C-alpha cells in the first residue's frame, strides 16, 4: 500500500499546505481510500484515476475535514457524464443526525456520482480486502479515529482528539500513526479537544507505533517546532508534508 499526504494543516489552507487528507492506494487491486477531505486536497489528486474505486471516510463533520468533498462531488459527476468514471465514489460519514452538516451531506443534490453511508464505533468495513475499524475520540462533536489494516500492514489515524491514554490500545503496533498535533504544549491552556505535539509523541510511544507522522498543524507555525517537541518523547517521528508518499 502507498500512503500519500494530501493535507496537513487546520483550520484553513495556506500556500502549499492544504487542510487534512490522507490517501491510501492498494496497488494490487486499484483500491483507494481517502481519510478526511479538507480544503484544498483536490489540488494534489489525480483525476479521474483517483476517483475510480474510491472510498472516502470522514472522521467528523467539521468543515476543515470535509470541505473538498464538494469538489470531488462535482468532479465525479462530470467525469461519469464523460464516460471516464464507472464506479460511484463511496462516502462514509459519522451518524451525527444532531448536526446541520449531517443533513447537508445526506441531501447533497444530484450533481455528483457518489453514495453516502453512515458508520459508528461498531462499524467494521471490508473494502476489497482492506479492513477499517473505528474508535470514538474525545472531541467536541462525534469524531472517530481509524485503523486501516491489510494483512500485516496497519495505518492508524487519530482524527481530532484530546489526550486519552486509552486510545493507545486502539493504535497498538501501528506501522504508521498519523496523529494530530494541533498545539505546542505551551499553547494548550487546558484544551481537552486537541493534542500537543508532545502528547502525540506520548501516544505513539505507549502504542508501540513504528513511525509517527504529525499532522493538523496551525498554518502560521513552522512545522519544525512540532517536530522538535514530539522528538523529545518519541524517536521515529516526521511531520506531514503535502504530496509525500510512504510505501508499506
Q: What is the pLDDT of residue 90?
A: 98
Beta bridge partners of 89: 114
- Start-to-end C-alpha separation, the chain: 5
What is the reported pLDDT for 46? 96
Mean pLDDT of 13-19: 97
Evaluate whether 145 touches 134 at the Cβ level (below 8 Å): yes
Q: What is the mean pLDDT of the chain?
A: 97
What's the pLDDT at 242? 98
Residue range 113-123: mean pLDDT, rounded:
97
Residue 16 has pLDDT above 90, yes or no: yes
Identify whether the C-beta of residue 131 lies closer than 8 Å to the C-beta of residue 125.
yes
What pLDDT shows up at residue 166? Answer: 87
pLDDT above 90 coverage of the chain, percent: 98
What average pLDDT does range 22-51 have in this prediction? 97
126-150: average pLDDT: 97
If DSSP codes are grouped into helix, strand and coil, which group holds residue 14? Answer: strand
- Cα–Cα distance for residue pair 12/235, rounded to 1 Å: 29
Q: What integer pLDDT is reported at residue 165 of this predicted model? A: 85
Q: Which three cell numbers stand for residue 114?
A: 457518489
User: Rounded distance, CA 69 to CA 120, Å?
Assistant: 20
For the chain, domains (ranges, CATH) are 2-247 (3.60.15.10)
- Mind listing the pLDDT tens digit for each residue in 72-95? 999 999 999 999 999 999 999 999
- What's the confidence (pLDDT) of residue 186? 95
Average pLDDT (45-60) is 98
What share of the chain in percent tops pLDDT 70? 100
Which tens digit of pLDDT belongs to each residue from 157-187? 999 999 998 899 999 999 999 999 999 999 9
Element (H, E) at 81: helix 69-81
pLDDT digits (tens, 9 = 90+) for 199-241: 999 999 999 999 999 999 999 999 999 999 999 999 999 999 9
User: What pLDDT sits at residue 63?
Assistant: 97
Element containing residue 153 per DSSP (H, E): strand 153-157
Amino acid at each position: 500500500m502507498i500512503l500519500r499526504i494530501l493535507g496537513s494543516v487546520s483550520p484553513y489552507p495556506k500556500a502549499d499546505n492544504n487542510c487534512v487528507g490522507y490517501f491510501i492506494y492498494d496497488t494490487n487491486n486499484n483500491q483507494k481510500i481517502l481519510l478526511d477531505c479538507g480544503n484544498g486536497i483536490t489540488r494534489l489528486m489525480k483525476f479521474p484515476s483517483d476517483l475510480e474505486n474510491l472510498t472516502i471516510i470522514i472522521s467528523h463533520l467539521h468543515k476543515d475535514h470535509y470541505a473538498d468533498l464538494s469538489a470531488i462531488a462535482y468532479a465525479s459527476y462530470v467525469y461519469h457524464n464523460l464516460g471516464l468514471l464507472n464506479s460511484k465514489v463511496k462516502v462514509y460519514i459519522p451518524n451525527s443526525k444532531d448536526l446541520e452538516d449531517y443533513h447537508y451531506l445526506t441531501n447533497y443534490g444530484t450533481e455528483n456520482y457518489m453514495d453516502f453511508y453512515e458508520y459508528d464505533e461498531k462499524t467494521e468495513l471490508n473494502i476489497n480486502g482492506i479492513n477499517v475499524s473505528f474508535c470514538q475520540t474525545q472531541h467536541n462533536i462525534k469524531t472517530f479515529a481509524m485503523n486501516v489494516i491489510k494483512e500485516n500492514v496497519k495505518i492508524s489515524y487519530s482524527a481530532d482528539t484530546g489526550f486519552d491514554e486509552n486510545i493507545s490500545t486502539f493504535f497498538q503496533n501501528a506501522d504508521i500513526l498519523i496523529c494530530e498535533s494541533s498545539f505546542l504544549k505551551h499553547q494548550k491552556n487546558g484544551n481537552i479537544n486537541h493534542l500537543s505535539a508532545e502528547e502525540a509523541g506520548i501516544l505513539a510511544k505507549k502504542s508501540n507505533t513504528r513511525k509517527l507522522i504529525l499532522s493538523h498543524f496551525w498554518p502560521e507555525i513552522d512545522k519544525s517546532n512540532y517536530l522538535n517537541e514530539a522528538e523529545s518523547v518519541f524517536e521515529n517521528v516526521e511531520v506531514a508534508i503535502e504530496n509525500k508518499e510512504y510505501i508499506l
